Structure 1
Amino acid sequence: MTTHTVRLRSRHMVADDTMAFHFEKPAGFDFKPGQAIDLTLEGSAGQLPGGEDLKHAFSIVSAPHQEELVIATRMRNSAFKRALGALPADGSAAVDGPFGSLTLHKKPDRGAVLIAGGIGVTPFMSMLRHATHERSPRELRLLYTNHRPEDAAFLTELRDLERQNPRFTLVATMTRMEQSTLAWEGPVERIDGELIRQAAGAMAHPAFYLAGPPAMVEAVLQTLSSAGVDEDDVRSETFFGY
């Protein structure tokens, strides 16, 4: 992997306690939708007491055709998140990458069921943005679960992508609506075999892609296994500490 120095262009909230950071894209930086980078905050503002630079892996939210590198994260009270939140406009960071195998199957005629929990939606945003831009013939279904609509990063954009892309279907479900102040007319159950079957619809031999908290990913993997889905048809990524 090659290390690049990048500068922060802007930041904005994409859900409660969730922020997207827009960095400049290095010249010649190529990646596949679904891949990730290591972001290192250098210098005294981003160092631990022992003098080590703070580093964290992030899926790339932006698509390859876009002229920026975007990440998104829950803003927890960790040393890295505090340093990232304090990074000034035009502040610099180091990027290593890209890496990761959570990428779509090479055959565009093979459909994909994307299953995301919370901030696990980030690699799928890159896939969906790029597929829409490229007018890909691939059938894409996103099953996206959150506690509340307030927690669902990029939900408005996902609805826009669904309107733009006739090959993409969004199924969003909220599991703690009693804690929400917003209206919600969609599903309110947790992800189970029936919800996955509904999301897959009549798709023939789809590939499954999972990203989210460890407990959610493990539960979905067990559900898919119980349904007879071959492990070769499943790719997953666990998001720790997000």
Structure 2
Amino acid sequence: MSTKAMIFDLDDTLFAEKDYIFSGFLAVDKAVQKKLSVSGFYKIAIELFEEGERKYIFNRALDRLNVNYNNKLIHSLLKTYRTHLPDIQLLNDAKWVIENLYDSVKLGIISDGYIDAQYNKVKALKLKNMFHSIILSDRFGRENWKPSKVPYLHVCMALQVEHKDCIYIGDNLSKDFITAKSLGWKTVYIERRHGMYPNIIVDEEYQAHYKISDLKELSLINEFENLFKKQYVPYSI
């Protein structure tokens, strides 16, 4: 296989999703202080998140703050969360890969999520000048989030490459690889120990061809090593 394109997931692949979440909590905290003159939202939201709450963090945090609220307020806070410009950075291993790939390798992103939130992540990370194509699947409707074929087809068209020439790297076994594999892509699972999707058990068809714990390890996979200017040397004692 002659690899011509390396396409990445975004959240917990190129940056730590928890950083985005906590950045969003801080933005909402400021909104709560401004709208309601109530402090403490940020600390409580993080506590709830660490306790495992995911779906109703805003409601539970306001309950703990003894704030009376309605759906209109919750929706307003959700909008603040999803439209804020986050304080996030590329992970070091992501920077290393981007800097050490040969220029002949085209770079792409396929990312699910609400379009405003994903756009602002791309903006905050300054990715437009680093990647040849960035496909935010929400622009095609939520029904075309992964594992829909639509974003994979669009990134191939944008990069002007065939499916057999693509690699996809992501962190979510439940949706990142099944379609890419069916189209003939090579796939790599990045296992982020502190990510949002650890320890997922899936059937074989959902598994990636390769599994790594650091993006630098891409340069150690035999069929990809020729894509890199240098190989990663793991630290050893």
The TM-score bracket by the shorter chain reads 0.3 to 0.5
Return the TM-score normalized by structure 1.
Answer: 0.36
* Larger relative contact order (Cα-Cα within 8 Å, sequence gap ≥ 6): 2
Return the TM-score normalized by structure 2.
Answer: 0.36
Larger radius of gyration: 2
Greater percentage in helix: 2
